[in-house]
Structure 1
Amino acid sequence: MPFASRQDEIPPAQRRAAVATILALHVAAAWGLLQVDAVRSAVVEAAPLFVELIAPPVPERPPEPPAPPPPSLTPKPPPPPAPVIAAAPRIEAPAAFVVPESPPEPAPPAPPEPPVVVVAAPAPPAPPPPPAAPRELPASAIQYLEPPEPVYPRASRRLGEAGLVVVRVFVGADGLPKQLQVLHSSGFLRLDEAALEGVRRARFMPPTENGRPTAGWARIPIPFELEK
């Protein structure tokens, strides 16, 4: 039998491999059981039973009481102060009697100032009334010393320009034309300028109003007609 026991003996390396294999199989089997919901719930419910087997913690040692403070030293009271001897009050001599001076006489009141008279400034003079607008002279009041004689422009004759120009002229009290303007144009600039120049050379009899010379605006028609 010694020979048979020697053949059944397993080498140490194979024994360790077999033990590791068995442990691995147990771990795999336990992991597989934990994947089942019923097994995992039972393990969770049984977990508190293992906690009760743990020994309770050792209570902490209470802290030591603090050491009593050292006894306080009572201060020694100071010695009483030495008595103070009060000096006798000094008697002063009475002051000399002085006769008060009489108050000065009040000054006489100042004479009242004369009242101030405020003189209002004179009002500015009223502005002069604006001059009356020059009136329009009727056609019957227009009389000539030298009637207007406009010159028909040659270019206007050659181009066949014709028409009526109404010149508005301001005749002064001396009968001279002061201002001129085209009131109605002929449609041709050359004819309008010729009409203005003809009226500018004209001389008027001074217009009168109530027997006195006056001035006013007059309308002078200047026709330009081509000869047929």
Structure 2
Amino acid sequence: MTADGFLNQRQRHPVAMAAAIAINLGAVTALMLAKTGVVVIPPGAIPLIPITEPPPPEPAKDTQPETKQPEPAPFVPPRQVPSQPAGERPLIDSTPSLPPLGGTGTGETVIQPRVEPTPTPAPNPVMVDAVPVPSAMRDFQPPYPPQLLRTGVEGKAVVRVLIGADGRVKQVAIISADDPLFADATERQALRKWRFRPATRDGLAVESWKQMTVRFEIRS
């Protein structure tokens, strides 16, 4: 190929010349950076990220407290038993051991709790009311007041009497009366003539109150 032909060819391909110059410059720059330790990433290349491995885990520390070992018990030499002379028998105490008084045989004193007896409820007393003596019933009716008898007035008197342990009336309380003369006649008759079998409590005579009604009627 002639010189004119080569020059003409170079003039015809300026792009090839620029590429050759860029390659040479890149080679020179790479050599210079390699000496300085700097790495240049060419355009369009994907950078590589170095992977650093984590350090190995440290061994786990024992968090439990140190157990204190018990101290060894002090050495106690065995008790020396005195030897018996030849031909003699050892003495043996044959007396049985008795437990302490008030104990259980183990040396402990047992105190028995005191049990209070359950009181037995007293039975209810047997009460019997006072009743008129049958032989004295004819004396229970008081005399008719003369004034009321002449006028033909009839009625009744209600009284409460306190009967003593001897069966006699000790007190008279007027509850109601159709006429004061009926009340007076009944009170006098009760204190003088009325007789009762007294009330009893468990068979014993006692005082008691009893209500009585006396009627005053005129019979033809």
| Normalised TM-score (structure 1) | 0.36
| Normalised TM-score (structure 2) | 0.38
